[in-house]
Amino acid sequence: MMENNKYMDKPITILGFAGSLRKDSYNKALLRAAMKLIPKSTKLEIFDLEGIPPFNQDLENRMPEKVKEFKAKIKAANAILIATPEHNYSIPGVLKNAIDWASRPPGDNSFEGKPVAIMSASPGTLGGARAQYHLRQVLVSLNMHAINRPEVIVASADEKIDEKGNLADEKTRKKIMQLLENLVDWTKKLERK
C-alpha cells in the first residue's frame, strides 16, 4: 500500500534528450510532441546536448559544467527518453559523446539501472531503425532497462512533421503516447522491485 502511495505523492520524472543539435530537428520535434502526450502525474524535462564538449578522459575527474548538469539531471530522473537521428547507419557522434560522458567516471554511471524508451526520426524510408539497434546495444553497456514496444520509428519525417515543427501524424502521436505509458508502467515496476 505504501509503495502505491509513493506514486500518488511524487510524480514520475522523465528526462528526454535528442541526438541532434539542429534547431529544426525532427527528433527534437518528437520530444516536443511527447511533452503534450505525457501521462498525467508524469513530468518530462528536455535537455539540450548543445555545449557538451568532446569527451576527454583526462577531464573525467573534473567534469565540464554542462556535463555535471547533464549527469545531475539524469540521476534525478526516474526514467530516460531518447530521440535519435541515424547517422551513417548508427547513432550520431553527438549522442554517443554525451552518453560516454554521463557513463563516467568508473563507478559513477549516471544511467545505471534506469528505465529508458527510445524513438527515432528520419526523412528516409527506414526512420532510423538501424540507429535504434545500435543504441540498444549501448544501453546494455549502461545497464539500462529499455522498453521494447511500441517501436517509434518515424520514417518520412519530413512529411509527418510540419514546417513549424509540429508532429502532424496521428498514428505516430498514438505510438508515442503508448510508448510513454509503457515507460511509466515499466518505471513503476522496476522501482517497486
Residues that bind ligand FMN (CB under 6 A): 20, 22, 25-27, 85-89, 121-124, 126, 128
Between residues 13 and 156, which has the closer beta carbon with respect to ligand FMN? 156
Between residues 38 and 121, which has the closer beta carbon with respect to ligand FMN? 121
- On whether the CB atoms of residues 41 and 78 are closer than 8 A, the answer is no
Strand partners, 154: 121
Between residues 16 and 85, which has the closer beta carbon with respect to ligand FMN? 85
Give CA–CA dist 2/112, Å, rounded. 25
Q: How far is the CB of 147 from ligand FMN (least distance, A)?
A: 20
Q: How far is the CB of 67 from ligand FMN (least distance, A)?
A: 22
Between residues 51 and 105, which has the closer beta carbon with respect to ligand FMN? 51
Between residues 67 and 121, which has the closer beta carbon with respect to ligand FMN? 121
Between residues 4 and 88, which has the closer beta carbon with respect to ligand FMN? 88
Q: How far is the CB of 154 from ligand FMN (least distance, A)?
A: 10
Q: How far is the CB of 153 from ligand FMN (least distance, A)?
A: 10
Q: How far is the CB of 119 from ligand FMN (least distance, A)?
A: 10
- On whether the CB atoms of residues 47 and 16 are closer than 8 A, the answer is yes
Residue showing the smallest CB distance to ligand FMN in the complex: 85
Q: How far is the CB of 63 from ligand FMN (least distance, A)?
A: 26
SS3 per residue for 149-184: CCCEEECCHHHHECCCCCECCHHHHHHHHHHHHHHH
* Residues with Cβ within 8 Å of residue 22, at least 6 apart in sequence: 28
